[in-house]
Amino acid sequence: MYRIEEHPILSAFPKGKLVKFAYDGKTLEGYEGEPIAMALKANGVMVHRYTSRHSQPRGVFCAIGRCTDCVMIVDGMLNVRTCIIPLQEGMKVQTQDGLEKKEQDD
């Protein structure tokens, strides 16, 4: 719903192959090499994490790896800046809750 199918100026967006990845236990599809956050956004995901102090939802804000609002747990690693780290097949992406995993789905 959020992928631009036909852009009036840009002929094509460089894309790798379509791959499957895990998001909070669900299987989603995205393009290999695009930022994880973009694959999530294409699937309608808005919330990336909840903050430590006040448990507030955060998502993409700067989109260039500067503000760290988009960080999630990726393949077990905390604080991964999803707006700049490229998606790979089979990645396990989880909503980060402060410094803890939000869903326990090991």
Partner 1 sequence: MMMERFEVIVIGAGPAGLAAAIEAASNGMQVVVFDENSRPGGQLFKQIHKFFGSKEHHAKIRGFKIGEKFLQEAETLGVKVVLNASVIGIFQNREVSVMLGDRISHYRANAIVIATGASEKMIPFAGWTLPGVIGAGAAQTMMNIHGIRPGNRVLMVGSGNVGLVVGFQLIQAGCKLEAVIDAAPRIGGYGVHAAKIARLGVPFYLSHTIIGARGAEFVERATIAEVDQNWQQVPGTEKDLELDTICLAVGLTPMSQLARIAGCQVADLPQKGGMVPVCNAFGETSIPGIYATGDVAGIEEASSAMIQGKIAGAAISLAQGYLSAEDFQLRYASYDHSLGQLREGTFGHENKGRTDLKTTDDGYPLSQFLFRKGYLADGELSHYPGVPTSERLNQELMPVIECIQNIPCNPCQDACPQGCIVIGSTITNLPAINQSAKCSGCGMCVVSCSGQAIFLVDVNYAPGYAAISLPYEFKPLPAVGTSGVALDRSGAILGEAEVISVRKTAVMDETAILTMKVPVQWAMSARFFKQL
Partner 2 sequence: MKKPMERTFHTSEFKAQADDSLIICRCEEITKGEIRRALYDGMSTINEIKRFLRVGMGLCQGQTCNRLVKGIIAGELGIAWQDLEVSKPRSPVRPIAMKIYANDGLVK
List interacting residues with partner 1 (CB under 8 A).
2-4, 6-10, 13, 15, 34-35, 38, 41-42, 46-48, 56-66, 69, 83-84
The enclosing H or E element of 62 equals none
Are the CB atoms for 48 and 39 separated by under 8 Å? Answer: no
**Residue 12 vs 99, nearer CB to partner 1:** 12
Q: Does position 46 bind partner 2 by CB under 8 A? A: no
Determine, following the binding rule CB under 8 A, whether residue 52 of this chain makes contact with partner 2: yes
Rounded Cα gap, residues 106 and 10, in angstroms: 41
CA-to-CA distance for 23 and 11, rounded, in angstroms? 30
CB of 105 to partner 1, least distance (A): 20
Q: Are 105 and 92 in contact (CB under 8 A)?
A: no
CA-based diameter of the chain, in Å?
A: 44
Q: Which is nearer to partner 2, 17 or 54 (CB)?
A: 54
Q: Site residues (CB under 8 A) for partner 2?
A: 51-54, 56, 58, 61, 66-69, 79
